[in-house]
């Protein structure tokens, strides 16, 4: 009779979840305040919002998805990086095409 081995995956502590949640809330509120108060306008506002979104994405990965933890194979991280490259390529290519389309009109 074979014994089944059960793998237990360590989950984050309550403290790490609360920290991640608080940081996510703060990084959501900052762009809202910037937009509603008209503190920034135009490109600086867009750059700030994008940077805060990327920072929030990284916080979500580390605090909730536990990317940095565990003895798991690194192909998960490589697949994540490949997905990010594909998304970046699609978004950048779409913006590039739309900018040329706007310049023609």
What is the crossing angle of helices 14-37 and 43-63, to 10°? 170
What are residue 100's phi and psi, to 5 degrees?
A: -70, -35
pLDDT of res. 99: 83
Every domain of the chain and the residues it spans? 11-70, 72-105
pTM > 0.85: no
pLDDT of res. 86: 92
Tens-binned pLDDT, residue by residue, of the chain (105 aa): 455 444 555 566 888 888 888 999 999 999 999 999 988 888 888 899 989 998 998 888 878 777 766 666 677 777 778 888 998 999 999 988 888 876 665
């Amino acid at each position: 009779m074979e014994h089944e081995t059960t793998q237990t995956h360590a989950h984050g502590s309550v403290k790490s979840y609360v920290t991640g949640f608080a940081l996510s809330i703060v990084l959501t509120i900052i762009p809202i305040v910037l937009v509603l108060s008209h503190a920034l306008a135009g490109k600086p506002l867009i750059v700030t919002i994008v940077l805060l979104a990327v920072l929030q994405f990284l916080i979500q990965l580390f605090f909730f998805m536990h990317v940095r933890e565990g003895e798991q194979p690194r192909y998960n991280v490589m697949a994540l990086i490949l997905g990010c490259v594909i998304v970046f390529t699609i978004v950048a290519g779409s913006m590039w095409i739309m900018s040329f389309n706007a310049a023609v009109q």
